[in-house]
Amino acid sequence: MWLSYWLIFGTYHVAETFFGFIFWFIPYWSWIRLGLFVWLLLPQFNGSKVVYDSVLAPFIRENKEFIQTWIAKAKQASSKAAAQAMKEATDPQNITKAMKIGFEAQERLSEATSAAE
């Protein structure tokens, strides 16, 4: 029950992020939204299971290959980014630059502190 609730809640939140301006044209939308969350949340209504079984699960089944392809692409991109970050982090020139910037920041902070006193 809780897993289906949080899946529905997360999906709703993403939809509201992009289409929230449309939802707010609906009169009494905040009350409708509250009622929807109560219906989804309370076990006696079992609303989250109804919405998951009738809407979200069929959508996921229909787009399973697309979702798996997207996940594979995201993994590949994150692996490339991690490799690049590791390369940049271990580059001695970048380490030297970072130390120099750190020392300059520390000097400025010391100057500002002594000027304030």
pLDDT, one tens digit for every residue, the chain (117 residues): 889 899 999 999 999 999 989 988 999 999 999 999 999 998 888 899 999 999 999 999 999 999 999 999 999 999 999 999 898 888 888 888 888 999 999 999 988 888 877
**SS3 (DSSP) at 63:** coil
pLDDT at 63: 96
Task: Tell me the C-alpha distance between 71 and 77, whole Å.
Answer: 10
Whole-number pLDDT of residue 38: 93
List the domain boundaries for the chain: 2-62, 70-116
- Cα(14)–Cα(83) distance, rounded to whole angstroms? 30
pTM of the full structure: 0.58
